Structure 1
Amino acid sequence: MGSGSKAFDADIDDSLPRGLRSIEALHDPFAWYHKNRRASSVQYDDHRGVYDVFSYKQVKEGLQNSEQLIRPPLAGDQTNNALSYFDTAMIWSDGSEHKGVKGELFRYFSPRMLKGIEESIVSITEAQLDTALDDGGEFDFVDEFAVPVPLRVIMSIVGIPQEDHQQLLEWLETFRSVMTSEDSAEGSLKGKHMTAAAEYFETLVDERSSSPQNDLISELAQETNLTNEEIGSNCFDFALAGQGTMSELLGNAIYILDEQDLVGNVDEYDFEILVEEVLRYRSPLQARARKTTEAVTLDGTTIPADETVILWIGAANRDPARFDEPDAFCPHRDPKHLAFGSGAHSCIGAPIARMEAPIILRTFFDTIRDFSLEQDALVPKPKASKLGFDRMPIQAEVSIE
């Protein structure tokens, strides 16, 4: 085990910050964060035309300021494209509209409501691990485990038929292209894909309204005052977050355990706490983009109205003013990180992630005694906003009963 050498190769977007225009820097951006934070916690990048925020205090303040720092609508000024449907999801709304929808949804993500899915998570994890190990102990942890397990879990919760899982995964990947730029809310989408996704959810919500089943869509249709459009768009967002972020969290956890030579002692750790430190140390979501509705001042820097602000969550979670030894991974540390955001837009799916990730990892290590990563074959995500892996070949040693 151990980190070994890395030979990364990927196309890098030249619209990224100058210090992050290599796959090595995107995989390990923390020196760049520290350098910029020491210079100024808030600074303007004239090349990208955005304000970057690096300190824990100011990032948290920015995340909580949902009146002056908002998420621009996905559809922009257009009202007839497919993104208008998904704009009705609470993540893209602010103020009283956001608060009302979130209030309707919040009770469905309480620990009591989620307790019944624990057995399902274990069953899905065991089945997928059996499939991954069919040809022996060598498999791609991302493609054969970290992607399909969270996908199956969240689809089961939401109520997506199994035969539609692969199609929805394609729509999720297409949708993510709207968020590939850290500098603006604009993105290039395959319009027909998102139109098909919107039509699919419209139909599915209509079906569950008249013929409910044991799933989230049916419960929301039967028990809340949400419109069918709000139900469909929010359930799409739950699938988006529940699959992608969880996949990256699992990959980061395995990478860290290998890098830190901790696999041999994994039974000593409380997985609930370990996951929190993974979220701090390598947050799946590294940055959030916001738009100013009026002039706002952060740490003495006044940002005019209608400017883009990048809140670097990954930098905040390594801020030495907030965390002792921020670049050390401490499996027993229980940090108060910003990986799930803060304030009105804190992630409503956080309770699912906090329950799901420890169960998946614990189940994984019930079967896997040890593993090694093929370091030269690792493929990190070539994005500044996301920290994770597109490919992670692993050689696993199976426990003997």
Structure 2
Amino acid sequence: MYDENFEHYKNARNNGGIIYNNEKHCWELYTYDACKYVLMHDDIFSSNSKYFGGNGGLSFINMDNPEHKEYRNIIAPYFMTSKINEMRQDITDISNELIKNLQFNSDIVKDYAVELPVRVISNLLGIPKNDREKFKEWSDYIIGNKRDDNFAAINNYMIEKLSGLFSQNPENGIMSVISTANVNNRNLDLNEKIGYIMLLIIGGNETTTNLITNMLKALSDNEDIINNLNTERNIHDFIEETLRYYSPIQFLPHRFAIDDTDINGIHINKGQRISVFLGSANRDENIFDKPDEFILRDRNEHIAFGRGPHMCIGAPLARLEADIALNDFLENYKKIRIDNKKSILLENPMVYGYQKMFFG
């Protein structure tokens, strides 16, 4: 499916890169320059659907500045690189434990790639151990990896659970900061607090889980690179190339033109929706040399985490977890071989990653 998507991206770029989708009633952007332009100009392209007939959203990612900045800044200190690096030893301990328990027939997704970020973000938020699995399930429903009739039940459970956690007036950490935050001379209501947790659960789980499995896929497909990593430990470049080549989030579906505007000579009407295809931008031939090859690049200006004011707040944490995971796999396995027949890709076109992954 994804090979077909990448071919579709290339065809779209070759046909101007800005295409109106009549079925989805939105403009789709496929070139790097067009995608970056929209992401960088939140004064022209809104993230808030309520101004254009939608119902907005609970999270600050659905807000525009200055409101977005004010809400984002409440938790931003916890995601500064210096603060995240304080978690290195704890993350390393979790990774060591998980990787030692992996067997040849283990599902790497379930037993490592999901478990590592779930434990990390759960510890960061103070989520009880027996609720971790439900938090992960909740995020799968919200992002679209899981679709059945049980969403209402899990959603109600999570709201009830989070309501209980906030009612206990947590004294430390992010939960405490969110619980006591003051915006525009008022405390956050419960829906706003839950919106924060929803964002952090999704961002803390999905992106990192998929980045880990995508790194293993890249190692499996590029045996020569493993030797390079084992000698030079060029971990940083490998992680960045994985983010470019297999972008965990393939597109951002919700930007809205605040007024009539043009993008590369294409007229966009006020209120029209825009989807930004990060996965295509990161394979744009005009930006990246040999974009369909996995190459450790000296300069890698991918936009896998977005760009501009809405750039992923959890990017430093995802990179640290990826760094620790990659080092652990390299230290414990001389070769990484993925069984492509048994491993199953996610069916959600918005993300690139695996439902199941097995050693071959």
Q: Same fold (TM over 0.5)?
A: yes
Q: Which of 136, 147, 160 is the equivalent residue of 2:127?
A: 160
Distance change (3 Å), C-alpha of 1:377 and 1:370: same
Return the alpha-carbon distance in structure 2 between the equivalents of residues 78 and 196 of structure 1.
26
Q: Which of 302, 305, 308 is the equivalent residue of 1:337?
A: 302
1:42 is matched with 18
Return the alpha-carbon distance in structure 1 between the equivalents of residues 236 and 4 of structure 2.
25
1:244 is matched with 206
1:285–1:385 Cα contact (<8 Å) kept: yes
Return the alpha-carbon distance in structure 2 between the equivalents of residues 178 and 91 of structure 1.
20
Q: Which of 263, 269, 277 is the equivalent residue of 2:226?
A: 263
Aligned pairs, how many? Answer: 352
Distance change (3 Å), C-alpha of 1:155 and 1:73: farther
Q: 1:72 Cα shift? A: 4.5
**TM superposition outliers: structure 1 runs of 4+ over 4 Å:** 76-79, 222-226
2:248–2:352 Cα contact (<8 Å) kept: yes
Return the alpha-carbon distance in structure 1 between the equivalents of residues 305 and 209 of structure 2.
15
Q: Verify: 1:254 aligned to 2:216, yes or no.
A: yes
Distance change (3 Å), C-alpha of 1:27 and 1:124: farther
Task: Tell me the alpha carbon deviations over residues 215-262 of structure 1, each in whole angstroms, 9 at most, x when there is no partner.
Answer: 321244457666253343212211111111111111111101111223
Q: Which of 47, 53, 67 is the equivalent residue of 1:71?
A: 47
The secondary structure found in structure 2 opposite 1:40 is coil
Unaligned stretches of 5+ in structure 2? none
Aligned AA (1:280):
R
Q: 1:300 Cα shift? A: 0.5
Return the alpha-carbon distance in structure 2 between the equivalents of residues 329 and 376 of structure 1.
21
Return the alpha-carbon distance in structure 2 between the equivalents of residues 381 and 198 of structure 1.
26
1:216 is matched with 174
Q: Which of 101, 104, 113 is the equivalent residue of 1:131?
A: 101
Q: 1:332 Cα shift? A: 4.2
Task: Tell me the alpha carbon deviations over residues 154-205 of structure 1, each in whole angstroms, 9 at most, x when there is no partner.
Answer: 111121111110121121122223999xxxxxx9983343233223222212
Aligned AA (1:275):
I
Distance change (3 Å), C-alpha of 1:224 and 1:119: farther
Task: Tell me the alpha carbon deviations over residues 117-151 of structure 1, each in whole angstroms, 9 at most, x when there is no partner.
Answer: 10111111111112223xxx232211221111111
Moved more, 268-277 or 151-160: 268-277
RMSD of equivalent CA atoms = 2.6
Distance change (3 Å), C-alpha of 1:100 and 1:273: same
Return the alpha-carbon distance in structure 1 between the equivalents of residues 350 and 178 of structure 2.
31
1:146 is matched with 113
Q: Verify: 1:279 aligned to 2:243, yes or no.
A: yes
1:291–1:309 Cα contact (<8 Å) kept: yes
The percentage of aligned residue pairs carrying the same residue is: 23
Q: 1:67 Cα shift? A: 3.4
Q: Verify: 1:382 aligned to 2:341, yes or no.
A: no
Return the alpha-carbon distance in structure 1 between the equivalents of residues 291 and 3 of structure 2.
17
The secondary structure found in structure 1 opposite 2:101 is helix
Distance change (3 Å), C-alpha of 1:372 and 1:266: same
The secondary structure found in structure 2 opposite 1:205 is helix
Return the alpha-carbon distance in structure 2 between the equivalents of residues 192 and 222 of structure 1.
28
In the superposition, the TM-score normalised over structure 1's length comes to 0.81
Task: Tell me the alpha carbon deviations over residues 301-342 of structure 1, each in whole angstroms, 9 at most, x when there is no partner.
Answer: 011123221111111111121122222211243411111111
Aligned AA (2:29):
V
Distance change (3 Å), C-alpha of 1:53 and 1:176: same
Q: How do 1:161-240 and structure 2 match up within 5 A?
A: 161-177=128-144, 190-207=151-168, 209=169, 211-213=170-172, 215-221=173-179, 227=188, 229=190, 230-240=192-202
1:69–1:293 Cα contact (<8 Å) kept: yes
Distance change (3 Å), C-alpha of 1:353 and 1:112: same
The secondary structure found in structure 2 opposite 1:306 is coil
In the superposition, the TM-score normalised over structure 2's length comes to 0.89
Moved more, 266-275 or 344-353: 266-275
1:295–1:305 Cα contact (<8 Å) kept: yes
Aligned AA (2:237):
I
Distance change (3 Å), C-alpha of 1:195 and 1:212: same
Aligned AA (1:109):
F
1:201–1:233 Cα contact (<8 Å) kept: no
The secondary structure found in structure 1 opposite 2:296 is coil
2:256 is matched with 291
Q: Which of 57, 60, 67 is the equivalent residue of 1:90?
A: 60
The secondary structure found in structure 1 opposite 2:36 is helix
Distance change (3 Å), C-alpha of 1:279 and 1:178: closer
Return the alpha-carbon distance in structure 2 between the equivalents of residues 104 and 161 of structure 1.
23
1:116 is matched with 86
Q: 1:393 Cα shift? A: 1.0
1:202–1:228 Cα contact (<8 Å) kept: no
Q: Which of 358, 362, 376 is the equivalent residue of 2:323?
A: 358
Moved more, 28-37 or 277-286: 28-37
Aligned AA (2:87):
I
Unaligned stretches of 5+ in structure 1? 1-22, 181-186, 396-401
Aligned AA (1:272):
H
The secondary structure found in structure 1 opposite 2:312 is coil
